[in-house]
Chain A
Amino acid sequence: MHIAEGYLPPVHAAAWGVASAPFIVHGVRALTREVRSNPESTLLLGASGAFTFVLSALKLPSVTGSCSHPTGTGLGAILFRPPIMAVLGTITLLFQALLLAHGGLTTLGANAFSMAIVGPWAGYGTYLLLRRTGAPLMVAVFFGAFVADLSTYCVTSVQLALAFPDPASGVLGALAKFGGIFAVTQLPLAVSEGLLTVLVMRLLTQSSKGDLIRLGVLGGRTAERREGATA
């Protein structure tokens, strides 16, 4: 859910920009280091960013019967790691604002905080936790994408509640109001995005094993085990 241009009061817009800045700066440093030590990774990172942008153009069937699009933050974080996703996600949001009139520039900080920072970190944290406790890859991928999607919407609800507190019950009431509205559509969508991410990852393990090993998603042993199972 992109917060539209001008939706947030100026102080809130600026505050979310300040909150996002350290994460984006950290991501920019990581990306600059990577590009300086390995110049050809510019092209790979550009392709990864373009993939993240295009993911949002996929129409996802929702359980409620409507259609929406995946945030792609979970898959992006699992494939490219959260610091890189903070930069790629922010560039994607900038392109979406300028090329699709989706989101905005004054709300870029707030949108980046929910979609390029919290979503990827929460999703990747869940994925990593499950992998370290021995969960199968696809289970970890499902919950990683599910949590990334849901946490993005939870943060957006908080941002909206802080900007527009309920006249009777304050920020908590507004949080229940915005959260309640999102929950109807976003819970099924988070499940849908989790399922789609699992299906995409399954196809990728079959068709792009080399890329997944290079990105560190599949270890050498995991890949060999999969090859053995397929044989």
Chain B
Amino acid sequence: MLPIDAAAHSSRWRRRHPAEKALLGFGLTLCAVSLPPWPGAPLVAATTLAVLLGPAGVPGRALWRAFRIPLGFCVTGAVPLLFEVGGDRGFVALAPEGPTQAVELLLRTSSASLGVLLFAFTTPVSDVLPRLVRAGVPAPVVDVALVMYRIIFLLLDSLSKIRQAQAARLGHTTRAATWRSLAGLGATTFVRAFDRAQRLQSGLAGRGYDGTLRVLVPACALSRRFLAVTGVLLAGLVALTLVLERLLP
């Protein structure tokens, strides 16, 4: 399993309704993106971190491992903002507003990423997909996504085993061998994906498959208390940011 999905399946909030967690996680992300980066983003980031490490019980190390990926993209993406090209001060020069813009972007992207991670670390994708039909997503699209979700892990497992087998046969020792092994890996994955689909089809045909994948969705009620606390938290964050924006330099 992928680390985020494994953490989501064993999360303390696993039994909570996905809509509750979506409101909280995506609400925080929306706040991070729409509020002024200073002081909005640090406030949103601090709140999200407190929820993640506190009530949601996400392990700090797992969170850092997942967070460093978007953080790397954020840092790389902020670097070009430090420079300007084709101005009066030379072909490439430091942009006067560049550092401020780059820091604001870093703050915004980091806090927005944490909001999505809050949802991802507490809600397995398998809990979300079957409920999307009620949200208006066409059933065939949801069914395709469900099959994708199930086959992805099998294919990733095959990929890792084939890679190990190729390495054991000196398949990665030279550049030419690496290319051959990569091509073999891609083609074998394709063949296995289609083989898996055909076997799944045979199995389902024996069980009266009529084109709809019926899965059990664990019943869980929406908690009004959770929704109310989330609403107050988000409203509080917006209000605090707008007040602090006037007070702080």
For chain A, the bracket of interface size reads 35 or more
> Contact flags (1/0) for A156-186 with B, using CB distance below 8 Å?
0000100010111100011011100100000
For chain B, the bracket of interface size reads 35 or more
Q: Is the CB of A173 within 8 A of B178?
A: no
Q: Is the CB of A181 within 8 A of B151?
A: no
Within 8 A of B (CB), among A45-65: 45-51, 53-55, 57-58, 60-61
Q: Is the CB of B151 within 8 A of A177?
A: no
B49 within 8 A of A: no
Q: Is the CB of A58 within 8 A of B144?
A: no
> Contact flags (1/0) for B178-217 with A, using CB distance below 8 Å?
1110111111011101101110110011000111010000
State the Cβ distance, B238 to closest chain A Cβ, in Å.
14
A221 within 8 A of B: no
> Contact flags (1/0) for A23-46 with B, using CB distance below 8 Å?
000001001100110011011111
Q: Is the CB of B70 within 8 A of A5?
A: yes
Out of B70, B85, B189, B196, name the residue touching A177 (CB < 8 Å): B85
A139 within 8 A of B: no
**Residue of B whose beta carbon sits closest to that of A35:** B140
Out of A60, A99, A178, A202, name the residue touching B182 (CB < 8 Å): A60
Binding stretch for chain B, among A101-109, A124-132, A147-155, A223-231: A101-109
A222 within 8 A of B: no
If A51-B193, A178-B80, A200-B190 touch, whether A39 touches B85 (CB-CB below 8 Å) is no
Cβ of B93: which chain A residues have Cβ within 8 Å of it? 168
Q: Is the interface of A mostly helix, strand, loop or mixed?
A: helix
Cβ of A178: which chain B residues have Cβ within 8 Å of it? 80
Q: Is the CB of B147 within 8 A of A45?
A: yes
State the Cβ distance, A7 to closest chain B Cβ, in Å.
5
A97 within 8 A of B: yes
State the Cβ distance, A184 to closest chain B Cβ, in Å.
13
A15 within 8 A of B: no
Out of A13, A46, A47, A106, name the residue touching B143 (CB < 8 Å): A46
Q: Is the CB of A95 within 8 A of B149?
A: yes
State the Cβ distance, B201 to closest chain A Cβ, in Å.
5
Cβ of A211: which chain B residues have Cβ within 8 Å of it? 190-191, 194
State the Cβ distance, A68 to closest chain B Cβ, in Å.
12
If A99-B4, A200-B183 touch, whether A5 touches B113 (CB-CB below 8 Å) is yes
Within 8 A of A (CB), among B52-74: 66-67, 69-70, 73-74
Cβ of B117: which chain A residues have Cβ within 8 Å of it? 101
**Residue of A whose beta carbon sits closest to that of B149:** A95
A46 to B140, CA, bound (A): 10
> Contact flags (1/0) for B156-171 with A, using CB distance below 8 Å?
1001000000000000
Cβ of A104: which chain B residues have Cβ within 8 Å of it? 70, 112-113, 116
Binding stretch for chain A, among B103-111, B222-230, B240-248: B103-111
Out of B113, B138, B190, name the residue touching A4 (CB < 8 Å): B113
Q: Is the CB of B113 within 8 A of A101?
A: yes
State the Cβ distance, A89 to closest chain B Cβ, in Å.
11
A47 to B193, CA, bound (A): 5
Q: Is the CB of A35 within 8 A of B143?
A: yes
**Residue of B whose beta carbon sits closest to that of A214:** B194
B141 within 8 A of A: yes
- If A55-B186, A87-B141 are given as contacts, then 15 extra A-B residue pairs at C-beta distance below 8 Å, sorted by A number, are A2-B73, A5-B115, A28-B141, A32-B138, A35-B211, A40-B205, A42-B211, A47-B197, A55-B189, A58-B159, A100-B4, A101-B67, A105-B29, A169-B85, A169-B86
What 7 pairs across the A-B complex have the smallest Cβ distances?
Answer: A46-B147, A6-B112, A168-B87, A39-B211, A199-B183, A203-B187, A47-B197
List chain B positions with a Cβ less than 8 A from chain A.
Answer: 2, 4-5, 26, 29-30, 32-34, 66-67, 69-70, 73-74, 77, 80-81, 83-89, 93, 95-98, 101, 105, 108-113, 115-117, 119-120, 125, 138, 140-141, 143-152, 155-156, 159, 175, 178-180, 182-187, 189-191, 193-194, 196-198, 200-201, 204-205, 209-211, 213
